[in-house]
Amino acid sequence: MQEEEIKILNPEKWINDYGDFLYNYALSRMFSKEQAEDLIQETFLAAFKSIDKFQGQSTERTWLVSILKRKIVDYYRKKARSKEQLSDADSPFIRDKFMYGRWKEESEPHDWDISDSTLSDDEEFIEIIKKCISALPDKWKSVFSLKHIEEAPNSEICDDLDISESNIWVILHRSRLQIRQCVEKLWFNN
């Protein structure tokens, strides 16, 4: 019978071994360098405090990423609850765009005669997308980020943000509209 190997964690090496990976992971989900840095610090602190709970069923990196994911969800949950959701009238990209539930002719989204592969590699376009997402109201940004970046299931988003399933779809729809309007303004009219 083989002896079970006990994994010994080395917190002194975490920053060198995993810092860049965790930072890039957080930055791709937070849209702010400062927020990403804060979450990495919180992740390392939480890991250090719970080092005795690590059971070795995953790699050190996987364990740290799971802590970071939870920190990201906690961040969005806190953000969503800290401020009230803005109404459509408060949104600069949606205000006065609809009449009787339909797009006003001059406000209707334009066809983007481009391929997705072209834009996914364009750093300037990616920065505009990040800027547009960060301009969303906090609750919208939280729902949008959890759904499309963290790929969280709706039930988890409902539980984390204390909202209904139908509210998710309304928020996602409004978020996509605002992001689209923002991209059109910043990218196509640039």
CA neighbours within 13 Å on the CB side: how many for 122? 11
The winner for highest mean pLDDT among 40-54, 81-95, 105-119 is 40-54
Mean pLDDT of the chain: 78
**How far apart, in whole angstroms, are the C-alpha atoms of residue 20 and residue 66?**
16
Residue with tokens 């547009």: 132
pLDDT over 50 (residue 126): yes
Largest alpha-carbon pair distance within the chain? Answer: 75
For 93-116, what is the mean pLDDT? Answer: 53
Q: What is the pLDDT of residue 68?
A: 92
Write the CATH number of the domain with boundaries 88-188.
Answer: 1.10.10.10
pLDDT confidence tier of residue 125, bands split at 50, 70 and 90: confident
Per DSSP, the residues of 14-35 read HHHHHHHHHHHHHHHHHS-HHH
Q: Which of 19-28, 102-111, 134-143, 144-153 has the lowest mean pLDDT?
A: 102-111
Options 1.10.3470, 3.30.70, 2.40.128, 1.10.1740; CATH for 11-82 is: 1.10.1740
| Contacts of 109-117 spanning 24+ positions with Cβ under 8 A | 109/180, 109/181, 109/184, 110/184, 110/188, 112/188
Q: What is the pLDDT of residue 111?
A: 59
**How far apart, in whole angstroms, are the C-alpha atoms of residue 107 and residue 62?**
46
What pTM does this model have?
Answer: 0.57
- Token pair for residue 44? 């390392």
**How far apart, in whole angstroms, are the C-alpha atoms of residue 56 and residue 99?**
58
**How far apart, in whole angstroms, are the C-alpha atoms of residue 105 and residue 169?**
24
pLDDT over 80 (residue 106): no
Which tens digits make up the pLDDT trace of 41-87?
A: 999 999 989 888 888 788 889 999 999 998 988 888 887 776 544 44
The domain ranges of the chain are 11-82, 88-188
